Amino acid sequence: MSMIKKPVYGFLILFTIFHIILFGMRSEHQVFWHLYTGLMLFSSIGYIFYERNIHSKRLLDAIITGILASFVIVILHTILSFIMKDITYFHLLKVIVGLGVYVKWQLIITLIISIPLQELFFRNMLQNYLDDRFNQFVSACIVSLCVTSLFMYSLSIELLLFIFLTQFILALSYHNTKRLITPILGQILAVILLMLIYS
């Protein structure tokens, strides 16, 4: 265990606790949003481990990369929605309502609080450690599996696959810039673009 840096040690503890809680509440899908938001708020303790990566790129480069990642995610969703009915936009809306998101302010909280905290948790406490030790694709795969696993008690296989692929794109974008703004912007902008396209 002495080989593992403190951020990763903290990640493993919190990640295990999260899975225990989510497993225990697996039949209560209608409160998933509240539960997940609470877990992400709790994960903000990971901020004590935050350090700006010395290899991080300029802010403008990070923003551009995040925008490009969002476009890739939207294109991926468009393509996969033709072959996977569970990830079509209107089915996603039904799933979101089923998970406890009933009003717009909940979506706003997800965009401005849950997503940034999720990125802080997984990128800062896990991906930085993995990127220093593994190939970027191996690292991205591991991180994406970890993120996706938190949803496995509530979502279908098709939705889990889409989340994994989305997280894989975001992980690669983060590896490229080493700035949290990149995956945060990538996710938020992708959600906004999909809402604008379909609504």
Distance, CA of 181 to CA of 189 (rounded, Å)? 11
Tell me what pLDDT residue 102 has. Answer: 82
Query: Residue 55 pLDDT > 80, yes or no?
Result: no
Residue 61 CB contacts under 8 Å (≥ 6 apart), including other chains: 177
What does the pLDDT look like over 16-35, one tens digit per residue?
A: 999 999 998 888 878 888 88
Among 45-49, 159-163, 184-188, whose mean pLDDT is lowest?
45-49
Tell me what pLDDT residue 3 has. Answer: 44
Look over the chain and give the mean of its residue pLDDT values, rounded to a whole number.
90
Residues 73 and 190 sit within 8 Å (Cβ to Cβ): yes
Tell me what pLDDT residue 7 has. Answer: 82
Widest CA span of the chain, in angstroms? 52
pLDDT: which is higher, 131 or 57: 131
Q: What is the pTM of this model?
A: 0.90
- Average of per-residue pLDDT across 41-51: 78
Tell me what pLDDT residue 29 has. Answer: 77
Measured N-to-C along each axis, helices 157-177 and 181-198 cross at an angle, to the nearest 10 degrees, of 130
DSSP 111: I
Query: Residue 37 pLDDT > 50, yes or no?
Result: yes
- Comparing CA positions, the residue from 7, 26, 38, 20 lying closest to residue 122 is 7
Let me know the angle formed at the C-alpha of 171 by 110 and 145, rounded to the nearest 5 degrees.
80
What does the pLDDT look like over 135-156, one tens digit per residue?
A: 999 999 999 999 999 999 989 9
> Token digits for 28?
């209560």
Give the residue extent of every domain in the chain.
58-198
Distance, CA of 44 to CA of 54 (rounded, Å)? 22
Q: How confident is the model at residue 5 (pLDDT cuts 50, 70, 90)?
A: low
Query: Residue 2 pLDDT > 90, yes or no?
Result: no
